[in-house]
C-alpha cells in the first residue's frame, strides 16, 4: 500500500480508526498473554493510540513503530512528555520514560534496533495492510520480535460489501500467516456493534499467539 495513503490521512486528520479510549479487548485479554506488568510491549503501526497511555498507567514499557511523524508528535504531546529524538538511518526514534516510538516504515525496523520485546499488541496493524503485504508483515513481525507472544485483534466481514482498510482477515488466513511460528488460540469472537464504520456487519476477534 502506498505510504502516501496513510501520510495524507494524518495530514488531513482523517483518523476514523482512532479510538477515544483504550481498546476493551486489550484491557480484558492482555493479562492472558503477559503476566509481568513491567513488560516491554511492542505496538506495530501504532498511530497515536490511547492504548499506549493506558499501558503506561499499568506500568508497561511501550515501543511502537509508526510511519507518520505527525502521529508520533501528537502521541507525545497527548502524553505530556518531551521526547528525545535520534536518527537511525531511515528511521527516527522518539523516546521518553516508558515510551519509544520509531518513526518510519516498519519494514526498516530491525531486531537490533527494536531490541528485546516481551509481547506484541497488534490492533489495526495486520488488518490495515492489503493482502499482498500481510505475508511479509507477519514474517517480519515474527523475526524482529523473535516470536514474542502476541495479542492480535482482527476483523472478519464480507469484503464485497466494503473496501478496506480495515481489511477482512478471515480466520483461515490468520492461521496460514501464523501457525508455522505460533500456537494460536482464539480468545473471543464478537459482533461489531452497529457494524464496521456503521455500515457493514462484521466480527471482531482477539487471538493469543505464543511461540511454538
Ligand X SMILES: C[S@@+](CC[C@H](N)C(=O)[O-])C[C@H]1O[C@@H](n2cnc3c(N)ncnc32)[C@H](O)[C@@H]1O
CB under 6 A: which stretch of 64-72, 111-119, 178-186, 190-198 binds ligand X? Answer: 64-72
Q: Can you tell me which of 26, 33, 39, 124 binds ligand X, judged by CB under 6 A?
A: 124
Give the Å distances, CA to CA, from 153 to 15, 25, 87, 90, 97: 18, 8, 31, 29, 27
Give one DSSP letter per residue of 121-142, joined into a string: EESSSGGGS-HHHHHHHHHHHH
Rule CB under 6 A: say whether 6 interacts with ligand X.
yes
Binding positions for ligand X, 40-59, rule CB under 6 A: 45-47, 49
- The minimum distance between CB 15 and ligand X, in angstroms, equals 8
Q: Can you tell me which of 30, 55, 71, 148 binds ligand X, judged by CB under 6 A?
A: 71
- The minimum distance between CB 93 and ligand X, in angstroms, equals 13
Helices 69-79 & 3-11 angle (0-180, nearest 10): 40
Give the Å distances, CA to CA, from 52 to 61, 69, 75, 107, 202: 9, 16, 9, 21, 26
- Judge contact between 21 and 50, C-beta under 8 A: yes
C-alpha cell of 69?
511523524
Q: Can you tell me which of 30, 33, 52, 68 binds ligand X, judged by CB under 6 A?
A: 68
- Judge contact between 202 and 196, C-beta under 8 A: yes
Contact pattern for ligand X over residues 164 through 183, marking x by CB under 6 A: -x------------------
Rule CB under 6 A: say whether 128 interacts with ligand X.
yes
Flag whether 152 is marked binding: no
Contact pattern for ligand X over residues 134 through 163, marking x by CB under 6 A: ------------------------------
C-alpha to C-alpha distance for 137 and 95, rounded to whole angstroms:
24
C-alpha cell of 26?
486489550
Flag whether 10 is marked binding: yes
Residues at the site binding ligand X, with contacts judged by CB under 6 A: 6, 17-18, 45-47, 49, 65-68, 71, 105-106, 123-125, 128, 165
Amino acid at each position: 500500500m502506498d505510504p502516501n495513503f496513510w501520510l495524507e490521512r494524518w495530514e488531513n486528520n482523517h483518523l476514523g480508526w482512532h479510538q477515544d479510549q483504550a481498546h476493551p479487548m486489550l484491557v480484558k485479554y492482555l493479562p492472558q498473554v503477559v503476566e509481568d506488568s513491567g513488560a516491554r510491549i511492542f505496538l506495530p503501526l501504532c498511530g497515536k493510540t490511547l492504548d499506549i497511555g493506558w499501558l503506561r498507567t499499568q506500568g508497561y514499557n511501550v515501543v511502537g513503530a509508526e510511519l507518520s511523524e505527525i502521529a508520533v508528535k501528537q502521541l507525545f504531546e497527548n502524553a505530556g512528555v518531551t521526547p528525545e529524538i535520534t536518527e537511525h538511518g531511515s528511521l527516527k526514534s522518539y523516546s521518553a520514560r516508558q515510551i519509544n516510538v520509531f518513526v518510519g516504515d516498519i519494514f526498516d525496523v530491525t531486531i537490533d534496533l527494536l531490541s528485546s520485546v516481551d509481547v506484541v499488541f497488534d490492533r489495526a496493524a495486520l488488518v490495515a495492510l492489503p493482502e499482498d503485504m500481510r505475508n511479509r508483515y507477519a514474517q517480519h513481525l515474527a523475526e524482529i520480535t523473535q516470536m514474542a507472544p502476541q495479542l492480535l485483534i482482527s476483523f472478519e466481514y464480507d469484503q464485497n460489501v466494503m473496501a478496506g482498510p480495515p481489511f477482512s482477515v478471515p480466520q483461515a488466513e490468520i492461521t496460514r500467516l501464523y501457525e508455522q511460528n505460533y500456537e494460536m488460540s482464539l480468545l473471543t469472537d464478537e459482533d461489531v456493534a452497529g457494524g464496521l464504520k456503521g455500515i457493514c456487519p462484521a466480527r471482531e476477534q482477539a487471538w493469543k499467539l505464543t511461540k511454538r
